[in-house]
């Protein structure tokens, strides 16, 4: 993804910017996974009972209170409506903040915010606000005419996510405000149409951004306890509490695969192949589908079970933070400046930040390694939890394909970030 006058989405770092030799970084990545796997195999012999510490009653009451939620939801709705309207009818150049709002604030920014505060998009989702208003106007039940069938799982969200990443990575005019405004309008109409029929719970199954925030939010230390109170918890506890559902693996595969394709498609060799075909959009679409299918196939081959896709969430989060770190730092504030300048404020101001390449390189390496480490821990605990009483040696043997896959993707991720 390339925004006007900006750096490539996968960062400003390369293998020469690393404070350590690149081959040593690759070896360290593999060693982190192998050593963590060996340690947990020896010392983690039973599923852990993750402790939860309830927040003070006053803090819990303030955070769960509705007095601030409605104004915040209305503010997000107003901002979303302005962005869409401005994309459709505003300036059609790089002074329009529509691309920054969709590709930086929402797609990139929602991950660190959700990791810090939990699945915030469930609360702020403007589509839920519109749906609630439409149900009142049309006198329809919020639960829908035909409640959503659980057998659909998260497959609709996976399809919706693919529609978004296709927009992000394939069309040459993807940053055109008219294209963005049209896509957002169609997306909202489809989501609201299904929600009016299937009920409010459709958004948890069919809205890509809500599912995206939900999975990333499972790594948050802030969660909901058994008694309904907000608690401080281990990030592993959030993943352990996620119920398996059909389509979860597909969603993770699209999320993970699109990030890998974004890195690979930024290489000069891929650009040369695409341009020589004469139909770049078709080749890029095929490449995106191919990478997502390849990731899904490897996940299915190693995990074989839907519930084992959940331990891959911290890896996907790590890749996203590493891949888009420089984009968020450089283009997030710049988009806010463009938004303000449309109102005649600080029209002559400029925002230009060139992050230190070494610092960005470190920021990109660390989330990948932490994500894979959490993936190893979560996979091991999940296997012990779902197969109690099974010999530890057999449990460890079943984990080996996933560990080998993590090593392969660690090397691939680091190579695409710094060597491609």
Per-residue pLDDT of 324-351, as tens digits, reads 888 888 888 888 888 888 887 877 777 7
Alpha helices, DSSP H, located in 91-234? 98-100, 110-117, 121-124, 126-138, 155-169, 177-198, 202-206, 208-217
pLDDT value of position 309:
66
Lowest-pLDDT choice from 199-213, 259-273, 381-395, 406-420: 406-420
Going from N- to C-terminal start, the domains of the chain cover 15-418
10 Å CB burial of residue 333 (0-12, 13-18, 19+) is middle
231, containing H or E segment: strand 230-232
The pLDDT tens digits for 2-27 are 454 443 343 334 444 455 566 666 77
Helix axes 208-217, 110-117, angle to 10 degrees: 40
10 Å CB burial of residue 191 (0-12, 13-18, 19+) is buried
User: What is the rounded CA–CA span in Å between residue 383 and residue 307?
Assistant: 10
User: What is the rounded CA–CA span in Å between residue 167 and residue 155?
Assistant: 19
User: What value does the mean pLDDT take over residues 265-288?
Assistant: 82
pLDDT value of position 308:
59
User: What is the rounded CA–CA span in Å between residue 308 and residue 380?
Assistant: 10
Q: 306 falls in which pLDDT band (50, 70, 90)?
A: low
pLDDT value of position 236:
79
User: What is the rounded CA–CA span in Å between residue 20 and residue 240?
Assistant: 35
Nearest Cα to Cα of residue 199 among 135, 286, 260, 275: 135
Q: 363 falls in which pLDDT band (50, 70, 90)?
A: confident
Nearest Cα to Cα of residue 1 among 103, 119, 72: 103
Is pLDDT above 90 for 125?
yes
294 three-state secondary structure: helix
Nearest Cα to Cα of residue 314 among 125, 114, 121, 124: 114
């Amino acid at each position: 993804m390339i925004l006007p006058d900006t750096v490539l989405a996968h960062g400003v770092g390369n293998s020469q910017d690393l404070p350590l030799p690149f081959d040593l970084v690759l070896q360290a990545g593999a060693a982190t996974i192998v050593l963590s796997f060996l340690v947990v195999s020896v010392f983690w012999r039973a599923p852990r009972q993750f402790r939860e510490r309830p927040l003070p009653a006053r803090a819990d009451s303030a955070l769960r209170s509705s007095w601030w939620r409605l104004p915040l939801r209305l503010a997000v709705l107003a901002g979303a409506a302005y962005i869409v309207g401005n994309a459709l009818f505003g300036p059609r150049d790089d002074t329009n903040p529509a691309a920054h709002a969709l590709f930086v604030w929402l797609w990139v920014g929602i991950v660190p915010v959700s990791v810090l505060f939990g699945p915030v998009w469930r609360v702020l989702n403007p589509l839920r606000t519109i749906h609630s208003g439409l149900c009142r106007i049309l006198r329809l039940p919020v639960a829908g005419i035909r409640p959503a069938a659980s057998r659909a799982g998260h497959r609709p969200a996976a399809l919706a996510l693919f529609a978004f990443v296709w927009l992000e990575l394939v069309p040459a005019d993807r940053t055109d405000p008219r294209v963005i405004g049209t896509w957002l309008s169609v997306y909202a109409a489809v989501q609201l149409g299904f929600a009016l029929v299937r009920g409010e719970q459709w958004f948890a199954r069919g809205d890509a951004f809500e599912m995206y925030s939900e999975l990333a939010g499972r790594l948050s230390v802030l969660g909901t306890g058994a008694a309904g109170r907000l608690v401080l918890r281990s990030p592993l506890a959030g993943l352990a509490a996620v119920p398996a559902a059909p389509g979860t693996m597909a969603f993770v595969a699209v999320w993970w695969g699109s990030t890998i394709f974004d890195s690979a498609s930024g290489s000069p060799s891929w650009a040369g192949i695409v341009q020589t075909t004469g139909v770049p959009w078709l080749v890029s679409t095929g490449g995106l589908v191919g990478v997502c299918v390849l990731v899904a196939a490897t996940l299915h081959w190693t995990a074989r079970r839907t519930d084992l896709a959940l331990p891959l969430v911290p890896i996907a989060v790590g890749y996203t933070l590493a891949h888009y770190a420089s984009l968020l730092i450089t283009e997030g504030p710049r988009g806010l400046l463009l938004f303000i300048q449309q109102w005649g404020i600080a029209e002559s101001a400029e925002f230009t930040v060139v992050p230190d390449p070494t610092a960005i390189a470190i920021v990109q390496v660390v989330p990948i390694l932490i994500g894979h480490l959490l993936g190893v821990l979560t996979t091991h605990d999940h296997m012990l939890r779902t197969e109690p009483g099974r010999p530890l040696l057999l449990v460890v043997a079943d984990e080996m394909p996933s560990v080998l896959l993590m090593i392969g993707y660690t090397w691939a991720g680091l190579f695409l970030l710094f060597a491609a």
